[in-house]
Amino acid sequence: MSQFFYVHPDNPQQRLMKQAVAMIQDGAVIVYPTDSGYALGCHLGDKKALERICQIRNIDMDHDFALVCRDLSELSDYAKVDNTAFRLMKNNTPGAYTFIFKATKEVPKRLMNPKKKTIGIRIPENNIAQALLEELNEPLLSTTLIMPGEATAEYDPEHIRDILEKRVDLILNGGYLGEHPTTIVDFSEGEVDIIREGEGDPEPFR
């Protein structure tokens, strides 16, 4: 049975963030709010937790996963970023974007796109996600919580509790979020390629 934390959306309780991080570091799979709906997350080095996430979503290990970061300070450790991409990200984050880059050797191979050797990067504009990442002090391996057979992310934490409370370790209830898919911007081939237009304004990247 999963734990269910009611987290204040504007001022997340630090004691709950500390408990959540301790669970992540101990191998937990969590559900947490972002600016694009709820997501599944785990420690980026935890293979067993990643396998559980794949089972929940009914996806394989070749899925395009993302590293969710608190800011740009962690970027160069995990992604190969040129000056143009860095400036664009600096001017438009945090926000509802997913950025695709060639991955560095710091990224476990199982997290990269197997053909392109890329990794997704997110810097979410959500107070709970930011507080969690600040406490964790490293990126969180993440994927949008889209259940098998569904086309959109889950955004109602009470419904998530009904369907996943026996399959995840922790649900951070940050309120009813609505559906806000990210804009996906691919920097991996040197050019800027907008793969999907979503909540984030694509104009700065055209």
Which pLDDT tens digit goes with each residue over 99-108?
999 999 999 9
- What is the predicted pLDDT for the residue at 198? 95
The residue among 40, 44, 68 whose CA lies nearest residue 54 is 40
Q: What is the pLDDT of residue 178?
A: 83
Q: Which of 40, 11, 17, 37 is nearest to 28 (CA)?
A: 40
pLDDT for res 126? 97
The structure tokens listed for 31 are: 């559900």
Give pLDDT tens digits for 141-199.
Answer: 999 999 999 988 999 999 999 999 999 999 999 999 988 899 999 999 989 999 999 99
What are 122-155's pLDDT values in tens digits? 999 999 999 999 999 999 999 999 999 998 899 9
CA distance 25 to 46: 9
Mean pLDDT score of the chain: 95
| pLDDT value of position 131 | 98
Condensed to tens digits (0 to 9), the pLDDT of residues 77-105 reads 999 999 999 999 999 999 999 999 999 99
pLDDT score, position 1: 83
Q: Tell me the pLDDT tens digit for each residue of 42-60.
A: 999 999 999 999 999 999 8
Distance CA 40, CA 46 (A): 13
| Average confidence (pLDDT) over 5-24 | 98
pLDDT at 179: 82
Strand order in the sheet with 170-173: 3-6, 170-173, 30-34, 37-43, 140-144, 66-68, 118-122, 97-102, 183-186, 193-196
